[in-house]
Structure formats: C-alpha cells, structure tokens
Amino acid sequence: MNLPSNLTPFSHSILHPAMRDSLRRVASPLRSVGVSASFSDAPEAVDAALARMTTAVWGTSPAATADLLNAPSSPEASRGKASRGMKWGRQALQDFPRAYGRLQRWSEGVFESEWSQAQLLQVMEEIEPMTAEALRWMHITAIAATGGYARLGELIARFEKDAARAHALRLGLTAALKTPDGRLMEVLKVGVAPDLLAERFGHMAVHEPYEMAWPRLAETAEALLGDAPPPKALMWDAERAMRRQEASVRVARAQAGFLGRSEMMKTIHLTQTALTAHAEARDALAYVLAAARHWARAAADEAVADGRIQRFDEIFMLEIEEIKQMMTGEWHSRAQIDPLLIGRRREGRKSEETAAIPAQALGVAGEHVRGPLVRFSSPAEVRPLSGFIALAANWTPAWWRVALMAEGIISLQGNLLSWAASVARMGDLPTLVGGSAYALWPEATIDLFPAQNRAEMAD
C-alpha cells in the first residue's frame, strides 16, 4: 500500500498528508512498545512501518512479517505477544463495519451534492480527514490480517514440518474469502450490463487505485466490458475455492490436536475476517477517492465556466489548497494559473519513474500449475489464448479478462494484501505476487508453485 512516486499534485496533496496522519494515529497507542510515530515518504516506508507495527502487536518474526508485506525487514523491531495480537485484532474487526458504513455514506453524500460554492468549500475541508480515516482502517486491518496470517503459519508449523505442505494448508485456509474485489470478478465472469456494473462497482479504480486523475469504473464501464462476451474462466472458481477451504479446516482441526484446536480455530477465523476486512477497507478508500475525484470535477466545471482553466483535467495539476485559492477568488484569472500549470507539466514529464519493485515472491493462492508464460504490458493485449500463466507488473480491475483466461498469474508487484491476492484467494487462482525475479523470463513453459513461493522453467 505504498503510494506511487508520480502522483498528480492533486492526489499527492491529499494522500501524502493523510497517509502520514493515519500512520501516526495507528502508531501512537503502540509507543509504549517501542513503535515510532514518525515516518518517511520513501516508496517502501509504509509497508515497512506496518511490518514493524505488526511485530510489535503480534510478536511474529520480523523477517516473516516483512516477507508477507514485501517490505524491508527490521530485526530490531520490538516483539509483542500472540495473545495481545488476537485481542487487538478482535477489537479492531468489531469496530470496522461501522467505520466502513460511515465512509461509504459520506462518499454517497458527496455524489448527491448540488454544488453551491459553500458546499464545494465544505466538502473540500472534509476530503483529507476522510481519506486519512479510510487509510487508518486500511492500516489497522493490515496489521490484523498480516499478524493473523503469520501466527497461523506458526501454529501450522507445530504439526506440519514440511514448509511447502504447511504453506499449502495456510493457502487453503484462506481461500474463498468473499471481498468486493472478488465479487467484481464474479459478476464479470457471468456477464453484466454496463449500467449495473457502474451502479454496483462504479467507485472502484480501473487502473491506478490511488491516482484521482484516472477515471473510475462508473466512467468506463462500457469500455471495460468491451464487445466480446466474458471469457470462460479456466482456473478462477469460487466454488472450488470454498471446497478447498472446507477441506483445509478439517485437516487443521484434526492435526492441531485437542490442546491446540481452540487457538487454531480462533486464529483461522480472525485471519479470514481480517483479510476480508482489509479488502473492504481498500474498498472504503476507493469510495472516498471516487468522491474526491467527483468533487474535483465539480470544482473544475466552475473554473472552466469562468475561464480560469481550459479543461477539467487541469484541476488535477493543482494541489487542493491551490484549488481553494482559485475558488475563493485569490486567483481570479487564468494569467495567475497558467505559469503554474506549465511548470507542473514540465516537472511531471521529468519526474516520471517506475516505482521500486519488491524482490521476494509470495504465493497467495492456488496449487501447482504448468503452462506457457505470457508477458503482458497492458490489459488491452488480451489474445485468444488459453492455458497460459500471465505475468504483469501490477494487477487492477482493468486486467479482469486476463485473470479469467489464465491458468495462473504472476504479479511483479504486490503483497499478501494487494488486489491480485484478494481476487486470487476468492477464486483459488494460482498466484505469485512480488515476483520481480521473473520480469525478464522468456515466454516458455513454466511451473508455478504457490505453496513454495516460486516458479521454475519446466523440463
């Protein structure tokens, strides 16, 4: 959940202060166990901070926790206790549904606004705190989910000494989790009209989830669906995933033994609930950012009408406080805004860069599968293929056709909590995330081993 390095000024001015505020609020109660409340803006800083906080709450291995988040390990991180993590996680998950509802209702209220200038200014004051609140719940549920998942691995290791079989069981226990991401895939799999897709999932980002200059699904539903019928899903199967989860629970109950059964079942339930809640927290953030984009477009309409900007998309080249200056008349002509826009466009072209890609692959769903590796740089490259393993830098809803056609996927970026992982778990789709080591592999037949966190060239 690290922020991209090349956000537009509008997105940057909202997300970076909100991210820092969220991390401070989550870390503040943990100062007594050695967690710092100050954070840098480095690309990998957020996940590294979450890894440290997870270790402080749950007492999990710093290295193992960092691997789940594809973050740098912090050996000096303070260690909590599993019992504290369970208590902390249960409380957080109990409070989250109400917060999800509040964030969703606020966003819906923004979409229903009539946009007087007073209303525009009021909503503007609410955007950053609501974004920070959504991010705070993303971070809280991330700690609960990552800690629970790591603890689940520790409990399984007590009776299953083979690392691959232990990880396979953990993948089975967390399969079939119903999330907003997975429900979108489920709907796309069977086919849906564009208006219904926009109504149910219109707040979701099609491409870069944090960049508010990108259209939301409601604006691009017809283009996302295209003219072709939904592809036949080869491996993404929610019903098969549920059968695998049920079988894995039976194994875990039997193998944990009488003394460990209660703790095992409580940890399974908390981990499943937390992974689902984190996906819902990302969905809550999607609602808030969609509302912020809607507000920005309304402010842009006012500015276009009086000639201060020429096109609505120029609004995203301004920071939110600069938009306030424009709306309140401090900037009253295009002559004041033009030099700033020209400079920002020039800076944007110079500063475009590719975010650092994590190096540690993590299997998040599915079982061993073999197929030809096919590299994609865009979801528009979908070809009439079948039985392939798809490799791409980062997966978002725009990639839905590829995901439903593939036998397995490799995401060069991402971690346990990413969109690709959420979708893969619900459909039990064999998936590796953070697999940058495979970026330059030839398009040859490979074996994908999620339980072993790796892929290899087939013989």
3-state secondary structure of 447: strand
The pLDDT of residue 36 is: 63
* One-letter amino acid of 453: N
Residues whose CB falls within 8 Å of the CB of residue 194, separated by 6 or more in sequence, listed in order: 221, 222, 225
**Lateral strand order in the sheet of 369-375:** 362-365, 431-433, 408-411, 389-392, 369-375, 445-449, 454-457
Residues whose CB falls within 8 Å of the CB of residue 145, separated by 6 or more in sequence, listed in order: 271, 274, 275, 277, 278, 416, 417
Question: Distances in Å between the alpha carbon of 110 and those of 98, 120, 325?
Answer: 19, 9, 21
Closest by CA to 68, choosing from 363, 382, 279, 292, is 363
Residues of the chain with pLDDT under 50: 350-358
Rounded CA gap, 434 and 68, in Å?
10
The pLDDT of residue 353 is: 42
Closest by CA to 320, choosing from 8, 39, 22, 105, is 8
3-state secondary structure of 367: coil
H helical segments located in 59-111: 62-68, 82-111
The pLDDT of residue 276 is: 98
The pLDDT of residue 204 is: 97
- Strand runs (DSSP E) across 186-307, as ranges? none
**Domain chopping of the chain, boundaries:** 9-294, 362-457
pLDDT tens readout for residues 313-326 = 899 999 999 888 88
Per the structure block, which two tokens stand in for 78? 């303070």
The pLDDT of residue 40 is: 63
Per-residue DSSP letters for 187-219?
A: HHHH---HHHHHHHHTTSBSS-TT-TTSPBHHH
Phi and psi at 236, nearest 5°, equal: -75, 110
pTM, full prediction? 0.94
Per the structure block, which two tokens stand in for 58? 């749950």
Rounded CA gap, 313 and 211, in Å?
13
Rounded CA gap, 432 and 95, in Å?
32
Annotation: CATH topology of 362-457: Glucose Oxidase; domain 1 (3.50.30)
Rounded CA gap, 181 and 217, in Å?
13
The pLDDT of residue 75 is: 65
